[in-house]
Amino acid sequence: MDREYTVQLANPYLDEEDARAVYEVVKSGRLSQGPKVEEFEKRFADYVGVKHAIAVFNGTVALHLCLAAMDVGPGDEVIVPSFSFVATANVAIYQNAKPVFCDIKLDTYNLDPNGIESQVTSKTKTIIPVHYGGQTVDMAPIMEIAEKYDLTVVEDAAEAHGSTYRGEKAGALGDTGCFSFYPNKNMTTGEGGIITTDNDELAERIRIMRSHGQDRRYHHILLGYNYRMTELQAALGIVQLNRLEESVEGRIEIARLYSEELSSIKGVITPFVRPENRHTYMLYTVRVPNRDRVRAYLEESGVETRIAFPPIHLQPLYRELYGYKGGELPVTEEAASSVLSIPMYYGLEEEKQDFVVNHLRKAMGSS
């Protein structure tokens, strides 16, 4: 049974308009992929500023479809951060390729471009930079490395709806961008994901592979999957997209108030935002000493928290597959030992935010 918290970590922004949109689809009887999906794709592509958006069932399959469509396969290597949700690396293994972990920058928790080139080998095929918590990676040097070595770049933008880098939105910075619409994200379709790209040929290939590899009914030209989005998800997504900017601006204001209040608490390191970025705060992550003790205090006080993320390379599966023992990625491991994500969602009331701040202050005093 889930624990009841005074302040939850996340809470999706849903209202009657969302319910009506889903109800209308149910009433229509058209539930599988159809005109609502097409509308959602068009609107999302316009929002990001790309030619194509391909809606899929979740963010993980978005990443997987990109690698499959790019012909990543056995013997290939995919450069990824270990400081991410495990799906970022798992999708390489789905294709019988090898995830190669690169360290991060401690200020943003994003992939460090300075460490990428040394990881490139003749087997390297793709780089997957992750826009951690809603702040984009420093993409310019990554794209330069990709061009130099003829690599593809798949943005893991699962947490970066509305985030920008030098004025361009996440999802328009690499060869493809992959978003998740899980309920803790800046917008949600329950489950769901979408792929963005300006590449016509790649977009068509992804669309075909999304639906069993068929270019028309019962005519299968590629190995494909059943990764389609439903009309129910798309209807919800359209409403959510319409108010994404409202949600993002609300999160930015909540983050501003957090940073203002927490900056006076000794030992708490608040998020650093690069000047060329618009951080959209899917996560608000601090670093604190004695993290586990601080977290226990907050949880006991009714504040839900999350450690985002335990390093992928130190997960039991990856230790077993590749022999990682710890110490291979010192910055990632340092960050993972001290990060703590605290409640962040659009509509977080000021009194609840004060509750979080006051208990974090007490937790730091007790640690």
Mean per-residue pLDDT, 19-42: 97
Average per-residue pLDDT for the chain: 97
**256-307, pLDDT tens digit by residue?**
999 999 999 999 999 999 999 999 999 999 999 999 999 999 999 999 999 9
- Are 214 and 257 found together in one domain? no
Q: What is the DSSP letter of 294?
A: H
- Are 337 and 225 found together in one domain? no
> How much is the pLDDT for 275?
97
Question: What is the extent of the structural domain holding 163?
Answer: 16-242
The pTM of the full predicted model, rounded to 2 decimals, is 0.97
Q: How many domains are contained in the chain?
A: 2
Q: Find all residues with CB under 8 Å of 249, minimum gap 6, and list them.
A: none
Q: How confident is the model at residue 2 (pLDDT cuts 50, 70, 90)?
A: low
Chain CA centroid to CA 208, Å: 24
Mean per-residue pLDDT, 329-337: 98
> How much is the pLDDT for 3?
82
- Are 293 and 162 found together in one domain? no
Question: Which residues on neighbouring strands pair with residue 197, listed in sequence order?
Answer: 52
> How much is the pLDDT for 294?
98
Rounded to the nearest 5 degrees, what angle is found at the Cα of 149, between the Cα atoms of 146 and 155? 20
- Are 175 and 287 found together in one domain? no
Judged against a pLDDT cut of 60, whether residue 1 lies above it is answered with no
Q: Where does a domain end: 242, 272, 290?
A: 242
What amino acid occupies position 294?
V
> How much is the pLDDT for 367?
47
Percent of the chain with pLDDT over 70: 99
What amino acid occupies position 106?
L
**Is 132 a member of any domain?**
yes
- Are 174 and 238 found together in one domain? yes
**110-129, pLDDT tens digit by residue?**
999 999 999 999 999 999 99
